[in-house]
Structure formats: C-alpha cells, structure tokens
Amino acid sequence: MNFRTLDLNLLRVFDVVMVERHVTRAAARLAITQPAVSNALRRLREATNEELFIPTSSGVVPTAHAEALWPIVRTALANLQRAFEPQAFDPREDSGLGFTVAMADATAALFVPALARRFQREGVRVGLRVVPLTTRDPREMLEQGLAEVALGFFPELPAALRAEGEALSLFRCEHLYSTAYQCVMRRDHPLAATETLSLDDYCAAEHLRVSFAGRARGFVDDALARIGRQRHVSITVNSYFTAALTVQQSDLLTVLPSSFLPAAGFGDRLAARAVPFELLGIDIGYAWHARHELDPAQRWLREALVAVAAEILALPAAGATA
C-alpha cells in the first residue's frame, strides 16, 4: 500500500464500521449514504490488498486483518482528534452531554447516591443514565456503545486484557476496591440463632441464587462442587435487591456482597453469616473502551467514579477494602 496516496477519510469509515458491524448503521452514524460507505470499504480493501469484512445476514464480520488493524487506526484517529479539537470540558456547563454507565444493583446502591451527592455539591449539569449490567464480561456492550463505562465485578477480564497486551487491546479495566460475599437470611431464621453457620447446615437449607443471566449454575455451586458438596436452589433471580426482599420473607438463604446490605437499607432487617467454605472475593473495577481513552469528558467521568470509590472505601459500613 502506498501511504502517500491513501485517503485518510477511509480510516474514519473503517473505524465506524468496526464499531457498528453494520454498513447501514455506519452510514447513519457518519451521515453519508450506504453506497458511500460500501465504496469507501472497497477502496480501502484495494489499498490494503486485504479482505477487511465478510458480509453476513446480520451485518459484517471483520477479518483477522481488520481486527489487527483496528487498534492502530483507532489510536491514530484519537490522537488526531485530540490535536485538532478543543480539550476543555466543564461539567458545570449545561451542554446537553450525558453519560451511560452500566452497573448491577449492588454496585448502584453504593455509587448512585454518592454520585448524586457529588454532582449536587459540585454543580454538575451533565446527565447520568444507569443501565443494568447483566454480564461478567462487559466488552460486547462497551464495543456496541451501550455504555461508556461498566462498573462491577469482572473476574476474568483483567487477565484477558493482559493476554491481549495493553497496546493492542481495545478495552481498559482498573481496580477500585474489594469486598466479600456473605450468606444472608432473615433475622429470625433458625440458622441465625448462632454466630457461625456450618457447612452441613448450609447445604441442607433451601437456597436462592442470584444470576444476572439467569443461569442454572453459578460460582457458589462451582465452589461447593470443588469440595464434593452441593446445595438445593429453589429460586433464581437476576437482582440482589429482589434476593434480599425474598429471603427476608422466607426461609431461603442467599449469598450477597457484604457491602450491599447496609447500602440498600437491609442491614438491620437481615442476618449475615460468613460463608462456610472458600469463595472468591469481589474485586470491583471499572472498564471502558479504548476509543474513550483521550476524550476529556470521559476522563472526567472516570475520575469522578474513582473519587466516589474512595468515598465508599472511607465508609466502615460498606465492608470494602483496598
């Protein structure tokens, strides 16, 4: 490819098609016609002598060459944008700008009230929309633009990003704080009569499982299987709040983050006991797409989330540790 004759506008089209994975949606986002997008992709294919996209019934799928090229193109475009566009951002200006953050209800119970207090205290005028986080791997929703930041427990994401290499990965993830799971039941539950819950009593009880995706098996079941035990799950729900309300009015046990109970107002309504077997801890982090790395408004949002996490760490009732 002769770089001197390359039309750099083709790279912008390539970038948007990579995000949308659909020619028509890319055309709408670029405010050009679908044939113009198709023509740009043809010219770029001819310039690179490589197939970049494979048409499918639902859009286009990038080839391995396109996947390898995208991080380089995206970084170059971001650097150009940073050089030519104003970088000042004042969250106190009513610019009509809004952010979308994905988080589960346990995390939202901690962050949203603290963010509201911070926004009012500092006169922040930007909008904030919180959407449900229904996965332990937020990369797809971040790539599709369903949220700018995902906030939660992503146990496998840091290792996956390290394996990709930071320079090549399209995503970023940083740790905020850690907390732990507890076994939760109503305050007058027979098993709440003692301060220690035995493994036999735990396994003999009826249970409620929390699964964002509604799966029939979770990490608690996997942990029990590793020691040759199992539990009987009567109900599976997709939110911690529903789980807390349900066990408060039944004999079921559930497992919830220790930081959730006081934040959601259940601290004096439920009994919590240590889980009687080894269970992974909860490392709360935030993830975002690399396309937002240099955007000043997005940087402000991430800094606000880090500041709120520091406030949460300072609350003894939150049960969080650095």
In this structure, the answer to whether residues 124 and 167 fall within a common structural domain is yes
Same-domain pairing of 159 and 228: no
Phi, psi of 57 (to 5 degrees): -70, -20
Q: Compute, in degrees rounded to 10, the torsion defined by CA atoms 19, 77, 298, 97.
A: -80
**Entry pTM:** 0.71
**190 and 260 fall within a common domain:** yes
Are the C-beta atoms of residues 185 and 247 closer than 8 Å to each other?
Answer: yes
Shared domain for 16 and 80, answered yes or no, is yes
Beta bridge partners of 253: 207
77 with 218, same domain: the answer is no
The rounded average pLDDT for each run of 10 residues, N- to C-terminus, in the chain (322 residues) is 73 91 91 92 90 92 92 82 71 84 93 94 93 92 92 93 81 93 96 96 97 85 96 94 96 94 90 95 93 86 95 66 40
- Which pLDDT does position 319 carry in this prediction? 47
Whether 57 and 39 map to the same domain: the answer is yes
Domain presence at residue 216: yes
Residue 48 CA to residue 44 CA, distance in Å, equals 6
- 138 and 250, same domain (yes or no): no
Q: Are 103 and 66 within one domain?
A: no
| Whole-number Å distance between alpha carbons of 104 and 309 | 15
Residues 275 and 185 in one domain: yes
**Residue 93 belongs to some domain of the structure:** no
Structural domains counted in the chain: 3
Work out whether the CA dihedral 149, 176, 77, 124 comes out positive or negative. positive
Backbone phi, then psi, for 270, in 5-degree steps?
A: -130, 155
Q: What pLDDT was estimated at residue 273?
A: 97
The domain that holds 15 is classified in CATH as 1.10.10.10
User: Which CATH number is 160's domain given?
Assistant: 3.40.190.10
Write 219-226 long-range contacts (CB < 8 A, 24+): 219/279, 219/280, 220/255, 220/279, 223/277, 223/278, 223/279, 223/280, 224/277
Are residue 75 and residue 114 in the same domain, yes or no? Answer: no
Q: Kindly state whether residue 120 falls inside one of the protein's structural domains.
A: yes
Residues 255 and 303 in one domain: no
Q: 141 and 147 in contact (C-beta within 8 Å)?
A: yes
Instruction: Indicate the angle between helix axes 34-48 and 23-30, nearest 10 degrees.
Output: 110
Task: Determine the structural domain holding residue 157 and report its residue range.
Answer: 98-179+283-318
Is the CB of residue 191 less than 8 Å from the CB of residue 236?
no
To which H or E segment does residue 270 belong?
Answer: strand 270-273
Is 251 part of any domain? yes
Q: Are residues 106 and 228 in the same domain?
A: no
